Structure 1
Amino acid sequence: MSNAMTETTHYTVTKAATKAEQEAQLVDFVRQAVERAIESRGFATLVVSGGSTPKGLFQALSGTDLDWSKVYITLADERCVPETDDLSNAKLVKDNLCQSHAAVANFVPLFLEDESEEACRARFAEHPQLSETYDVVFLGMGGDAHTASIFPEAAERDMALDMTSSVNILKTDPVTVAPLRLTQTRPRLLDTHNLLLQLIGEDKWDVFSGVAEANTPDKPITQFIHQITIPLQVYFAEKK
């Protein structure tokens, strides 16, 4: 495994032997990024992803001594389910990240029941902090090389990846899995000071490295690797 930084392949890799070691690396990175942001502009923004991978990281971050009252947290994507549903990324964040020291953080959910895409975008616009360049964006990646809720089979895939689009939030149908999703789009997610991807296990690394080498545009994570807007910082743990 080697780091890469070329005109079209814009990523670096930080390796760890275990998930616990990886989480310690990420907590330290986020702590420093948040502290710098608060010092420079008075607040920090943190965009996180769902799934089982970041749960331990969220718990570790929640105990970090930061001025969380000045941190705005939102989601890269969300399933269109009630917040009480175990599939809800908002529930995951509230149960694991917005606890302990981080209980006072400002959490802005992506999905609200009976809210249209347009209303969601308008609600986000009410938080000027979320209209500026993000400080940290955490991505995940599925075995099919989807990231956020931008799926290979989705009819909305190309729209979500289009760098010329002014749309920041889009409803998507993954096709291969339920339910419907809301996702922040590629141009919005790339508008960040720090773009991180958390990967755990050789199976995920095999998917990532294969996609990175092949540069297959229909695999969504490819278009977060092969771009020169912001370096993708990959944190890889060999073991769970």
Structure 2
Amino acid sequence: MAAIEWHDFANREALDTLLAASVAKTLAEAIATRGEASLVVSGGRTPAGLFAHLRQSPIDWGKVWVTLADERWVDAEHADSNEALVRQHLLLDKAAKARFVGLKSGGNTPVEGLATSTAQLAAIPAPFDVVILGMGDDGHTASLFPQAPELAAAIDPAGMARLAAISPITAPHARITFTLPALASARRLILHMTGEAKRDLLLRQFSADAPETLPIRRVIDAAKENCHVYWAP
């Protein structure tokens, strides 16, 4: 099982500033070593401040591939689209040169679009250099939702698929998500979260009396390297 390395900050601005610098350094090192780098980011409200700092980083963004940990099966112009958030907050300024590959493809459902979405990702270097995940109040990460009927296959450490179609019971929209093996194989896995409630939930997951093993713990347990948690109140 991978260990957790905690990075605690007094406030979210400090967290975003230092995390952006750390991610940029890792991407620059990957470019220097392998000629290109891959970055997987998450949607939601938490990453917006991080993206504002990261997009100003003076690295060779033209050699950075960017994609999403998961996506709602909606058009890129939809208010709930993670791609829309990334385009509005990350792929600007210096990061406008990054090579972005979205997860939403043709097809009315994620199941119909799964093969095309998988093919779109073929050019992105793997294992990913940096994966930045969030965590929901229910312990989901990416779109690996507790109670989703497809969860068991998506978090199977021996699974061969990179992507999975997910039908959450507790959240709107059908989803497409990277599977546990694809996320956990990252050269650097980062959990970016804020708030006391989420910190307490994660700590309880690693206590001896945890009532159940939630998806976030499954991913951390399977991680190739230690998971870095960046947290602020």
TM-score normalized by the length of structure 1: 0.91
Name which of 99, 102, 120 aligns with 1:123: 120
Name which of 173, 176, 185 aligns with 1:182: 176
Deviation digits for residues 70-114 of structure 1 (CA, Å, limit 9, x no counterpart): 000000000001100111000000110000000010000011242
Aligned to 1:209: 203
Aligned residues: 228
Name which of 72, 76, 89 aligns with 2:82: 89
Aligned to 1:151: 145
CA–CA separation in structure 2 for the residues paired with 1:225 and 1:92? 25
Deviation of residue 227 (structure 1)? 3.5
Name which of 211, 214, 217 aligns with 1:222: 217
Aligned to 1:73: 66
For the 8 Å contact 1:199–1:237, the answer to whether it is kept is yes
Deviation digits for residues 165-209 of structure 1 (CA, Å, limit 9, x no counterpart): 100001101111110000000000111110000110111111111
- Percent sequence identity over aligned pairs: 36
Secondary structure at 1:14 match in 2: strand
For the 8 Å contact 1:212–1:226, the answer to whether it is kept is no
For the 8 Å contact 2:58–2:94, the answer to whether it is kept is yes
The residue type equivalent to 1:74 in the other structure is T
CA–CA separation in structure 1 for the residues paired with 2:129 and 2:39? 6
Moved more, 71-80 or 213-222: 213-222
Deviation of residue 228 (structure 1)? 5.5
Aligned to 1:171: 165
CA–CA separation in structure 1 for the residues paired with 2:223 and 2:83? 30
Name which of 185, 191, 194 aligns with 1:191: 185
The answer to whether structure 1 residue 29 and structure 2 residue 16 are counterparts is no
